[in-house]
Amino acid sequence: MKAEIHPDYHETTFVCACGNKVDVRSTVKDIHIEICSACHPFYTGKQKLMDSAGRIEKFTKKYQKAKDAKAAQAKEPAPN
């Protein structure tokens, strides 16, 4: 192996949103992840809804405006 061309390889901690911590070795220091094997539905067998940064509320609010506009348009009488 050639000297001085490889990145530093050091102890790293993966921290999940559920609070699980895993110590590994990587070229990146302290990585924060949203989902891990301790909380992923495939591995746990349980489905749970995870909302990061209010994405679900943002989605429902966005499409609620469109739904309300469509309902209001349906209530208006057709011009003769």
* Domain presence at residue 1: no
* Domain presence at residue 42: yes
Domain that includes residue 31, residue range:
10-75
pLDDT at 65: 81
Q: What is the pTM of this model?
A: 0.45
pLDDT at 58: 81
Domain containing residue 36: CATH number: 4.10.80.400
Residues sharing a CB contact under 8 Å with residue 20, sequence separation 6 or more, in sequence order: 36, 38, 39
Number of structural domains the chain divides into: 1
* Domain presence at residue 31: yes
* Domain presence at residue 63: yes
* pLDDT tens digits in sequence order for the chain, 80 residues long: 678 888 888 899 989 888 889 899 999 888 888 888 788 777 777 766 665 667 777 888 888 888 888 888 877 766 66
Burial pattern 33-49, b for ≥16 Cβ within 10 A else e, equals eebbeebeeeeeeeeee
Rounding to the nearest 10 degrees, give the CA dihedral for residues 70, 72, 75, 76: -100
